[in-house]
Amino acid sequence: MVPSGWNTLALSEITKEKISYGIVQAGPNVKDGIPYIKSADVGGEIDVDSLQRTAKEIHHKYRRSSVHPNDIVFSLRGNIARTSIVPTSLQEANLTQGTARISVNDKNDTKFVYYKLASTPILNRINALSKGSTFKEISLEELRKVKLALPPLEEQRKIAKILSTWDKAINTTERLIDNSKQQKKALMQQLLTGKKRLLDDSRKPFEGEWEEVKLGELIEEFVNGYAFTASNYKNHGIPIITMGNISLDGNFDERQLKQNFWEDDDALEKYKIKLGDLLIAMTDVTPDKNLIGRMTIVDVDKTFYLNQRVGLLKLSNKIDSIFLKYLSNESRWRKYSIAVSASGVQANMGTKDIKKGMIHLPHIAEQKKIASVLTNADKEIEILEQQLADFKQEKKALMQQLLTGKRRVKVDNEVVA
């Protein structure tokens, strides 16, 4: 049901220029050419500096698809239905065949239409109109017919302004997260190599040389995971940890737990994992072998089973497990892990490889202090990431209300009924 005062119009009825796609073949990148926007560039803010450029002659040939500041660029294929608004810094540009220009007329607000196109009902409609089995795309003809329920212009502007406020909060938080991650990375490079020394409990800098040690000398027991049979997995019981639960930043990712369970079995007691256990990825299927050798600490208070190709390290009291977890992300250990697992299509790191690995180790007190500082840095990032998730969820709920007219806004100090 269309709210009072709203009109339903097709996209083709609210544009000042015909909705069209761009250049069929942009040719090689031309340094002083005209920038063009392809499907991969669309979604959120356009990174103008990263855009490729086409020859001025090609741009002129396809001038019908030129885009200007405040135009909406719509992805017709690939990341279908993703949209961006052309920034004011991009005064002259074009599109590729996989994108379309939507130039909103003066009777409607571009930002409102941008949000409307990103709303769930419209996205569902666009997906329903898209064709193709392996490579879906929507035709210009179908896109032009997509209908939007639109309030009067002033109400559109007010709704767009409210949602833009949430976008600013989301963008600010994303930048804070990026900055925090960069600061943590720099801190790790300094602390885990001894370039920067922290203060001890007496407020004096830690002293003494760091020691070169084989990791095997610090491992009291190493347990390789059990070879569970996938065909015998249960839908209840004890969940099974795999290498997918070890994230690239060293955190334990419970969200990646597959719905694989095994019944409680006393014979498998040594493969049971609990809160505080230190795990290592012993295999990796990614091309860059970026996961191999990374460690994590289980921070969920429940029992798990350990699958094969994930190892459990039980350490002596000469090394702090949290310190070692962070050390597994440091460049020296990363290079070693990749080197010993380089042969073969799938990267594998054996128990002997792990034990032979050399690490640079300070006194246990300094290890614990370093681990504490880096843990606090991780907690700050976690808080920001949770804040970001909350902002996105709240914006989504607000979009569902404002863009459908279920909740009306004040225009000129009056609530639109």
My answer on whether 141 and 171 are in the same domain is no
In a domain, 135, yes or no: yes
In a domain, 402, yes or no: yes
Q: CA-CA distance, 268 to 203, in Å (whole number)?
A: 47
Query: Span 396-414, mean pLDDT?
Result: 88
Task: Using the 3D structure, point to which of 150, 166, 186 is the last residue of a domain.
Answer: 150
Longest Cα–Cα distance of the chain, Å, equals 76
Say what the pLDDT of residue 79 is.
87
Burial label for 182, CB within 10 Å (0-12, 13-18, 19+), is exposed
pLDDT greater than 90 at residue 18: yes
Residue 414: which CATH number? 1.10.287.1120
Task: Provide the domain limits for residue 197.
Answer: 153-201+363-417
My answer on whether 392 and 343 are in the same domain is no
Lowest average pLDDT, out of 48-62, 219-233, 341-355, goes to 341-355
Residues above pLDDT 70, as percent of the chain:
98
Task: Using the 3D structure, point to which of 132, 150, 168 is the last residue of a domain.
Answer: 150
Q: 374, 376, 391: which is closest to 173 by C-alpha?
A: 391
Residue 296 Cα distances to 243, 293, 340, angstroms: 10, 10, 20
170, containing H or E segment:
helix 153-191
In a domain, 245, yes or no: yes
Task: Using the 3D structure, point to which of 113, 135, 150 is the last residue of a domain.
Answer: 150
My answer on whether 231 and 350 are in the same domain is yes
| Three-state DSSP state, 318 | coil
Mean pLDDT of the chain: 93
Residue 342 Cα distances to 287, 338, 348, angstroms: 11, 6, 8
Q: Which amino acid is at 142?
A: E
My answer on whether 246 and 283 are in the same domain is yes
CA 25 to chain centroid: 31
My answer on whether 272 and 357 are in the same domain is yes
My answer on whether 196 and 216 are in the same domain is no
Extract the runs of DSSP E, i.e. beta strands, from 215-282: 219-224, 238-241, 261-262, 272-273, 278-281
My answer on whether 13 and 142 are in the same domain is yes
Q: CA-CA distance, 369 to 65, in Å (whole number)?
A: 59
Number of H helices, E strands in the chain: 9, 23
- Asked whether the beta carbons of 241 and 257 are under 8 A apart, the reply is yes
User: Which residues are 101's β-sheet partners?
Assistant: 20, 73
Residue 115: which CATH number? 3.90.220.20
Q: CA-CA distance, 197 to 96, in Å (whole number)?
A: 53
In this structure, what are the phi and psi dihedrals at residue 290, rounded to the nearest 5 degrees?
-80, -15
- For residue range 73-124, what is the model confidence (pLDDT) as tens digits? 999 998 899 999 999 999 999 999 999 999 999 999 999 999 999 999 999 9
Residues above pLDDT 90, as percent of the chain:
84
In this structure, what are the phi and psi dihedrals at residue 286, rounded to the nearest 5 degrees?
-75, 150
Query: Span 260-271, mean pLDDT?
Result: 94
β-pairing verdict for 52-54 and 347-348: unpaired
Give the CA dihedral 387, 390, 396, 398, nearest 10 degrees: -100
Q: Which amino acid is at 323?
A: F
In a domain, 2, yes or no: no
pLDDT greater than 50 at residue 355: yes
Query: Span 7-25, mean pLDDT?
Result: 95
My answer on whether 356 and 286 are in the same domain is yes
- For residue range 185-203, what is the model confidence (pLDDT) as tens digits? 999 999 999 999 999 999 9
Angle between helices 120-129 and 110-117 (to 10 degrees): 70
My answer on whether 281 and 230 are in the same domain is yes
My answer on whether 168 and 253 are in the same domain is no
Question: Structural domain tally of the chain?
Answer: 3
* Terminal Cα-to-Cα distance of the chain (whole angstroms): 14
pLDDT greater than 60 at residue 415: no
- For residue range 362-382, what is the model confidence (pLDDT) as tens digits? 999 999 999 999 999 999 999
Say what the pLDDT of residue 414 is.
57
β-pairing verdict for 304-306 and 238-241: parallel
β-pairing verdict for 147-150 and 7-10: antiparallel
- Asked whether the beta carbons of 148 and 9 are under 8 A apart, the reply is yes
pLDDT greater than 90 at residue 349: yes
Say what the pLDDT of residue 417 is.
46
Q: 378, 280, 377, 374: which is closest to 334 by C-alpha?
A: 280
Say what the pLDDT of residue 257 is.
77
In a domain, 1, yes or no: no
* DSSP 8-class letter at 2: P
- For residue range 278-337, what is the model confidence (pLDDT) as tens digits? 999 999 877 777 899 999 999 999 999 999 999 999 999 999 999 999 999 999 999 999
Contacts (Cβ under 8 Å, ≥6 apart) of 306 = 223, 225, 226, 240, 241, 271, 272, 273, 279, 312
My answer on whether 39 and 142 are in the same domain is yes
Q: CA-CA distance, 244 to 57, in Å (whole number)?
A: 50
My answer on whether 101 and 178 are in the same domain is no
In a domain, 133, yes or no: yes
Q: CA-CA distance, 357 to 333, in Å (whole number)?
A: 8
* DSSP 8-class letter at 225: P
In a domain, 59, yes or no: yes
Q: Is the pTM of this model over 0.75?
A: yes
Say what the pLDDT of residue 33 is.
95
Residue 323 Cα distances to 229, 247, 300, 372, 387, angstroms: 34, 16, 19, 9, 27
| Three-state DSSP state, 350 | coil
